[in-house]
Structure 1
Amino acid sequence: MKLILSTSNIMSGGPSVIRRHTFEKSNTELTSSLRANFTAHRSSPPTPTTNGDTAATRPQPPFKSWTTQQENTLWIPTHTPSPLSEPRESYDITVKLFYLPNVPADTRCVQTREAIDLVLKELGTSSIDLLIVSFPGISFDADDDEESDLDDPPSAPNSLADDGDADGAPEDMDTIVTTWHTLEKLHEEGLVSKLGISEFGCSRLEKFLPRTTVKPSVDQINVRDCCVVPKPLILYAKQQKIELLTHNDCTNVLPRGTLRDILGSGEKGMGVLAREKDEGERLQGEVQPQWVVKYTAVVKDRGVVESKGYFAVAELRE
């Protein structure tokens, strides 16, 4: 069974001015927003007593009452798209697709289109301005003036490791290129105006660019030391006409065990997944995360974020 988890629009409390935006790490923002959305959908109203007082809240309803199953796909929670309120040309729409470890390249190509289709339907639009992809196991270290070599194992844990920044070996170049060809097709079809990559330094760019038809317009890197970008990368990106952007995302946006913790039957779980075989109608099996996508729609002339959210997709296998 496929599980589609959504945060809905996390800006629903009102648009946020970009300059005031809080830079919460993406894995923290994702998990906290999922929990908040699930809780909002499954919460029961207080039960009034005969004398008009409010009694204790009723037990939480079963997951089937606040989720929707369509054939072999379960939406958690039941989801309704939130189309943009103004004409398409009023927005800059950026999508970042996080590929997760241990997903074959051919499967990933199908998943890429699925992710884009979800976002387009969510926002009620036919195209996005910028699609950035993040490959598993690749991280940028400004201290080293370059990311680790492609064939080397991941570096020793650093101060961000507890946030899920490192998980698995770096993606190999053949898989990256195969995946990129799918993105090029989306560009050719007009679904995506510009393509971008994440955490690529000079060495990786030099190996990657000759194998592309549509070059990335953006290289988004996580700079941890006061936004100090290595000079060689600045010069090379300028030569290749690639815009360098910084970000606050994790390399591994969905660490192992996160979804089971959120959906499980524990104290902080949502009661979707069973711990034991006799837990009623709760689902049983192993949760295998597939990908995560983040979308942001900014109103150009006002510089505010009208819509922002995440989708996370996993497979539940017995």
Structure 2
Amino acid sequence: MSEEIPVIPKVTSLTVHSGNIVNWNRLKRHPNHGATAEIAECIDSALKTYLDSADKTALQYETSLECKSTKFMEALPADERGDLKVTVKVFLCKLLPPSTLKEGIEKVLTELNITFIETVILALPELEEDEEVSLSVIQPYWEALEEMVEGERVLSLGIADLSKEQLEELYNWAKIKPGINQVNLESCCVMPKDLTEYAKQNDIQLLSHNDARDILPNEKLSEIIKTNTTEKDSDFWEMLWVMRYSVLIKCRGIIKTKAYITKCGRDTRRRK
């Protein structure tokens, strides 16, 4: 008898918790996998595990799924918290309501069973070809993050991929100044001199990264969902946001935990 294929015709929201991928043996075999491949594998694995054990009849009526790799979920021991530093990089895959940031960050806090995060770094999506990430685009998200700092849920803020002019605009406007600007060295092999000088003058760390701006293309997401369900159920999905968090053992400089929480959405009205 053939295995019943899960169908999810009403699902419009999919959240995936990878758990600590430092302990994923299959990812250990590919140490330079890259964020896009890691996220794809996390969604594929967690969704497959969830669907394999789900009631196939009940699935047909679900509107949202939250898939957790429980085997790899790890809260931080309270007695070790002082020795650990938690950093979250928020990838917005499209321009969403600022409350989205709080939703994702709160999920990280809950998952790790902690009350605050040392650093949150904001990565905004790539806009249309003729558009740049202006201060007016950044402001509502930065204000939401500032509220989390004021509420002592986050201690410091950073941002990714700003030029010297963009960073200066944000710095001059912001109530809570950016302490980090991540620069993608694939787009510039050497840090721009004006950016380096400005960052030095204002005590801003310049860090390099190699994360794709489109961290997981929607086509790849649909392909993953199609593999685990049906072609019809893979239509009209899009990535909404990704939270990548890491836990560093301060005195040893060792990554104790690395994990992803991702959220995807689907507009089923487009089927009509």
* TM-score, normalised with respect to structure 2: 0.81
Task: Give the letter for the 1:188 counterpart.
Answer: E
- The answer to whether the aligner puts 1:314 opposite 2:264 as a matched pair is yes
Change (3 A) 1:263 1:191: same
81, 85, 91: which one aligns with 1:88: 81
> For 1:314 and 1:32, how far apart are their aligned partners in 2?
15
* TM-score, normalised with respect to structure 1: 0.70
- The answer to whether the aligner puts 1:33 opposite 2:42 as a matched pair is yes
Equivalent residue for 2:23? 12
Change (3 A) 1:64 1:200: farther
- The answer to whether the aligner puts 1:74 opposite 2:80 as a matched pair is no
Contact 2:46 2:69 in 1 (8 A): no
SS at match of 1:219: strand
> For 1:225 and 1:135, how far apart are their aligned partners in 2?
16
Equivalent residue for 2:33? 24
1:71-103: CA deviations, max 9, x gaps?
8531124657420245211111110000112x3
Change (3 A) 1:173 1:6: same
Output aligned runs, 1:57-206, within 5 Å.
Answer: 61=52, 64=55, 72-77=63-68, 79=70, 81-85=73-77, 87-101=80-94, 103-104=95-96, 107=97, 109-137=98-126, 153=129, 169-206=131-168
Superposed displacement of residue 241, structure 1: 1.3
> For 2:122 and 2:90, how far apart are their aligned partners in 1?
5
SS at match of 1:257: helix
Contact 1:200 1:219 in 2 (8 A): yes
Equivalent residue for 2:169? 207
Task: Give the letter for the 2:66 counterpart.
Answer: W
Output aligned runs, 1:186-265, within 5 Å.
Answer: 186-224=148-186, 228-264=190-226
- The answer to whether the aligner puts 1:291 opposite 2:241 as a matched pair is yes
1:272-307: CA deviations, max 9, x gaps?
xx324xxxxxx5763232111100001112222111
> For 2:119 and 2:193, how far apart are their aligned partners in 1?
25
SS at match of 1:87: helix
Structure 1: unaligned runs, 5 residues or longer? 15-20, 43-59, 139-151, 155-168, 277-282
> For 1:87 and 1:256, how far apart are their aligned partners in 2?
39
Superposed displacement of residue 38, structure 1: 4.1
Equivalent residue for 1:45? none
Which structure: larger Rg? 1
Change (3 A) 1:78 1:218: closer
Contact 2:217 2:239 in 1 (8 A): no
Equivalent residue for 1:53? none
Superposed displacement of residue 64, structure 1: 4.3
Contact 1:24 1:248 in 2 (8 A): no
SS at match of 1:245: strand
Change (3 A) 1:90 1:205: same
SS at match of 1:229: coil
Change (3 A) 1:239 1:309: same
Q: In percent, how many aligned pairs have the same letter?
A: 27
Structure 2: unaligned runs, 5 residues or longer? 1-11
Task: Give the letter for the 2:65 counterpart.
Answer: L
Q: How many residues align?
A: 251
Task: Give the letter for the 1:221 counterpart.
Answer: V
> For 1:68 and 1:117, how far apart are their aligned partners in 2?
27
SS at match of 1:125: coil
> For 1:176 and 1:229, how far apart are their aligned partners in 2?
22
Task: Give the letter for the 1:25 counterpart.
Answer: G
Q: RMSD across aligned C-alpha pairs, in angstroms?
A: 3.1
Change (3 A) 1:129 1:23: farther
Task: Give the letter for the 2:115 counterpart.
Answer: S
Superposed displacement of residue 37, structure 1: 4.0
Contact 2:218 2:237 in 1 (8 A): no
Superposed displacement of residue 12, structure 1: 1.8
